[in-house]
Amino acid sequence: MNNPSLNTHWMPFTPNKGFKASPRMLTGAKGMHWITDDNRQVLDMTAGLWCCNAGHGNPHIAEAIARQARELDYAPCFGFGHPLAFELSERLAHLAPGNLNRVFYTNSGSESVETALKMALAYHHARGEAGRQLFIGRERGYHGVNFGGIAVGGITNNYKAFGQWLPTDHLSHTQDLRRNAFSRGLPLHGGIDMANELEKLIRLHDASRIAAVIIEPISGAGGVLPPPVGYLQRIREICDQHGILLIFDEVICGFGRTGEAFASQTFQVQPDIMTTAKGLTNGAAPMGAVLAGDHVYDAVMEASASGVEFFHGYTYSAHPLACAAAMATLDVYEQDGLYQRGDADGEISQYFERGLHSLKGLPGVIDIRNYSLIAAVEFDAPAGTDIQAMAWEQGLMLRSLGNAIAMSPPLILEKEHVDQTVGILERCIRQHFK
């Protein structure tokens, strides 16, 4: 069927009726570009949905998946194993900071979040503190779309039709336009005060009721908000003082976005549990991994003398095709030095930063912020959708976040792509705000 009807696919996070009126179809992808059904090349400045960190169509990854499909297409992982899952786990544990040595596989970022939340509850339960049931998230935090994730997340649209079914409270978001507008890298002001808000929430709820704090090191879908200097360190200190676990949601930050494999390494703050997905397989196969500290794992193991210790898992956990994709992806990141390419002081990050910040002063632009190769341009009106649509017509994919547009290009980005992006973006902003 060459021209399928557009009526049957209920599209996620999409204005379905609007899409049918002007469909945007991707039929291929190579390197930094998409190919569309009308044979245009579109520059991908979002790495898909923040996931294709090595760009598109990498032959090493494609071949690894195809080979694995022929060799072992599926293996149940409840009570059985396959060697690649253990090999990948060793590799991830080696890559991750500190004692994050225990790897649990999921199929998405949302599932990684649910898994991490359940691990935190299981940890406290195992240690005789089952009263710790409440989670602290953050306004504008995005932690996927399952019931736990929308409750700890802080994006109203994601829960207003569905409710918030976990006991939660939320820290304020970390954006302070008055003091930190047009910041490059970490914003300078307010980090400690913002983090100290956690103490207020602890006084309100009592530490004996709080299981974990979950935050993205750099909030992504909520607007690209790098943490102000000192913020993450102070959050870690307060959690330690009160026996509260710290979960870093590194679904976006993980695998090179901040110049190291993980943002916890870049910012030198060690979480107890870390969620990942997206860049783990370069987007080429659905997979997430939760990395838990030894102390979390040990507590859960010790509490159960025999039998299943953690009643949780997915039919496709550690799926062989996804494991093969992840192994090949890690090869590519390492061989091509892609973690280092996201270094905030590196040549390409600096070039990207300078290019973007040159848009300061354009009509409607109230903030431009970035940490290395993750960035947002914010407007004084909900211009994101319109600017995204205009950019698409001109051969550039951006991500609309309502009042802002976000960018998180593949780490293989070159200067010519930055120049093209800045040029198109400037035209689109002027056109929208004329």
Q: Is the Cα dihedral 96, 301, 106, 14 positive or negative?
A: negative
Using alpha carbons, list the distances in angstroms from residue 358 to 257, 314, 377.
22, 47, 11
Q: Closest distance between ligand PMP and the C-beta of residue 151, in Å?
A: 13
Of 109 and 342, the one with the shorter C-beta distance to ligand PMP is 109
Q: Closest distance between ligand PMP and the C-beta of residue 111, in Å?
A: 7
Of 149 and 191, the one with the shorter C-beta distance to ligand PMP is 149
C-beta separation of 396 from 42 below 8 A: yes
Of 44 and 216, the one with the shorter C-beta distance to ligand PMP is 216
**Tokens, residue 317:** 């956990």
Angstrom distance (rounded) from CA 293 to CA 99: 5
Q: Closest distance between ligand PMP and the C-beta of residue 392, in Å?
A: 20
Angstrom distance (rounded) from CA 226 to CA 371: 6
Give the residue at shortest CB distance from ligand PMP.
109
Q: Which H or E element spans position 177? A: helix 177-180
Strands (E), 2-128: 26-30, 33-36, 41-44, 100-106
Angstrom distance (rounded) from CA 302 to CA 127: 9
Q: Closest distance between ligand PMP and the C-beta of residue 17, in Å?
A: 23
Of 110 and 115, the one with the shorter C-beta distance to ligand PMP is 110
DSSP structure class, residue 207: G
Applying CB under 6 A, which residues contact ligand PMP?
49, 108-110, 113, 142-144, 216, 220-221, 249, 251-252, 277
C-beta separation of 377 from 396 below 8 A: no
Q: Closest distance between ligand PMP and the C-beta of residue 108, in Å?
A: 4
Of 49 and 201, the one with the shorter C-beta distance to ligand PMP is 49
Q: Closest distance between ligand PMP and the C-beta of residue 106, in Å?
A: 9
Of 64 and 274, the one with the shorter C-beta distance to ligand PMP is 274
Residue recorded with tokens 């930055």: 418
Query: What contacts 421, CB < 8 A, 6 or more positions away?
Result: 43, 45, 355, 396, 407, 409
Angstrom distance (rounded) from CA 1 to CA 135: 48
Angstrom distance (rounded) from CA 315 to CA 308: 16
Of 249 and 272, the one with the shorter C-beta distance to ligand PMP is 249
C-beta separation of 412 from 31 below 8 A: yes
Of 72 and 155, the one with the shorter C-beta distance to ligand PMP is 155
| Residue 105, helix vs strand vs coil | strand
Q: Closest distance between ligand PMP and the C-beta of residue 253, in Å?
A: 8
**Tokens, residue 421:** 């992006």
Of 275 and 403, the one with the shorter C-beta distance to ligand PMP is 275
Q: Closest distance between ligand PMP and the C-beta of residue 47, in Å?
A: 11
Q: Closest distance between ligand PMP and the C-beta of residue 267, in Å?
A: 15
